Structure 1
């Protein structure tokens, strides 16, 4: 790795000049190794965010983050369904439910997530409440994925070096570059991703990073600020495939037979409540939660199985598969087998 000094990294940021990937990789190595001071870390992430991150800069950050991670390998084509968080909407766990439904439809899912940072219940919180342990080893997590077709990489366990950034990030109290990295640093190296982005200004950036890594993806931002495909209004969608990015394209849920709902219709609460919502979904309960999960699971399946056609056409086909996964009981079966497999590998 090329050697830099903090003045060599921070100086250009103050002048709003872009950095090479080697410079951001060096800075991230300093942060994750614990060598960076809180002031250096804060100056770096605020400087990057103030200037505006580039694809090249984020590539350098992600490469080092992956170097420090505990990596796993799950065979075959794999999928992650993930959001950046930070939308302050306190919804139910849409991405997590969509991942379960996608697995029920036949996708092999390696989900990456963490506990809640700005909401009451993150992916890790609701999965733990459902009976998915967060303390499995890397080999155990991979084994569960092979057995069931879905598994979970708890970010805090697979990226332990991030603890060196935790206190300054919390003290800053504003979104930084780190908020972009989680969805880009899945330790299971998924082949395809559905990525929800709360800050629409960086959705294209994240799509560009995924494109350079050769990942098939749909990246989206709800026009109401959700880091999901929303059913409250329209969403913007970027399509990633073949190393290229297309979009954004406006997706209107009404074109897919979903009428707009109120914000309250998607509201979540604590892990106990949200886990009950997951169970109700896989038991076939109709309503607004089912609709938004079908939409997002449909997008995930569209990313997992790239086909010709418009975004709306591809998502509609995915929604049909998602509905069948719920109505046939396949999604419920996957969840139950996932819980059992986690218990058996411990």
Structure 2
């Protein structure tokens, strides 16, 4: 599909098919489009808004041109946020992953360095001496022995480097920001996703239904892309849609300052450690428990109540199993 054909469709307010956007993405990696054409593509789709099929096509293109990760496990989960809420929270999703792994579930966490906060998943993982790898044998060993594997996005999504400089130069986010949560190269069968607004929740709800996985999507009504416990939050899964209050889970509302990552990567890593070592502020622990619990509920196909899942997550921290899973992970990956 030539650049002229693409822009004729976009300027005519036509939608692209999933196969067309897949081929566009592959064409970008083959150098078939110049910088100006890629810039115009990103801007025009951003102004019009991306469709579900277009997003899925770009996803397929990234996975097709990237490094696959065949994990020797039938069922595992990724817990991730879209990012961009500019709240500078500590590493809630990443901490929750180790709580879930400590509870006996398998986790394939996909992440990257921070874009708008002090510490992203890759920052806090690297801070503990972990060396990122795309070695399949090492990744499978980590999953089998620690219950969790970490997939550093830059090692796998090769297509991203072709649009990286353009994305950085543009003064607005593009649809590539929406792709991050759905391009885990291991293609997990389960995912808990945090989104920053309800429009994104609707988009990803349709995306997950088409992909055909077990999922939960969460959004705190006051703008956090995770369960912040600072107020009401909405959860959408394969089986239900509901607005919760912190008190519905037995938690007191949290204060925004209790979620902050601090000013440095080291400070963020200290909060991460304090939760796993069961010495964090009550609000910090509760926030991780809430997010981990909804991830566990997804793994359980919604067959356990959220109250049961909170207790499973609580036992993972209180018993030291979450910390043991993390220490084993570091040992295997350093």
Decide: shared fold, TM above 0.5.
Answer: yes
C-alpha distance in 1 between matches for 2:6 and 2:124: 39
Q: How does 1:230-269 map to 2 (within 5 A)?
A: 230-240=228-238, 247=241, 249-269=242-262
C-alpha distance in 1 between matches for 2:307 and 2:38: 44
C-alpha distance in 1 between matches for 2:57 and 2:255: 40
Following superposition, the deviation at residue 138 of structure 1 comes to 3.6
Q: Specify the alignment match of 1:36 in structure 2.
A: 33
Cα gap change, 1:140/1:47 in structure 2, threshold over 3 Å: closer, same or farther? Answer: same
Q: Specify the alignment match of 1:65 in structure 2.
A: 62
TM-score, structure 1 length as denominator?
A: 0.91
Cα gap change, 1:140/1:236 in structure 2, threshold over 3 Å: closer, same or farther? Answer: same
Which of 272, 277, 292 is residue 271 of structure 2 equivalent to? 277
Following superposition, the deviation at residue 36 of structure 1 comes to 2.4
Q: Specify the alignment match of 2:285 in structure 1.
A: 290
Query: Which stretch has the larger CA shift, 25-34 or 330-339?
Result: 25-34
Cα gap change, 1:229/1:14 in structure 2, threshold over 3 Å: closer, same or farther? Answer: farther
Q: Please, which runs of 5 or more residues in structure 1 have no aligned partner?
A: none
Which of 4, 22, 26 is residue 23 of structure 2 equivalent to? 26
Following superposition, the deviation at residue 161 of structure 1 comes to 2.6
Cα gap change, 1:237/1:33 in structure 2, threshold over 3 Å: closer, same or farther? Answer: farther
Runs of 4+, deviation exceeding 4 Å: none
Q: How does 1:1-346 map to 2 (within 5 A)?
A: 4-74=1-71, 75-240=73-238, 247=241, 249-269=242-262, 270-285=264-279, 286-308=281-303, 314-343=305-334
C-alpha distance in 1 between matches for 2:196 and 2:22: 25
Count of equivalent residues: 331
User: 1:28-60 CA deviation, whole Å, 9 max, x = no partner?
Assistant: 112233432222222222222222222111111
User: 1:236-277 CA deviation, whole Å, 9 max, x = no partner?
Assistant: 222136xxxx53x21222211122222111000322111111
Following superposition, the deviation at residue 222 of structure 1 comes to 1.4
Query: Which stretch has the larger CA shift, 194-203 or 330-339?
Result: 194-203
SS at match of 1:295: helix
SS at match of 1:131: coil
Following superposition, the deviation at residue 139 of structure 1 comes to 3.3
Cα gap change, 1:34/1:147 in structure 2, threshold over 3 Å: closer, same or farther? Answer: farther
User: 1:154-197 CA deviation, whole Å, 9 max, x = no partner?
Assistant: 00111123111100000113221111111111011111000011
Query: Which stretch has the larger CA shift, 265-274 or 78-87?
Result: 265-274
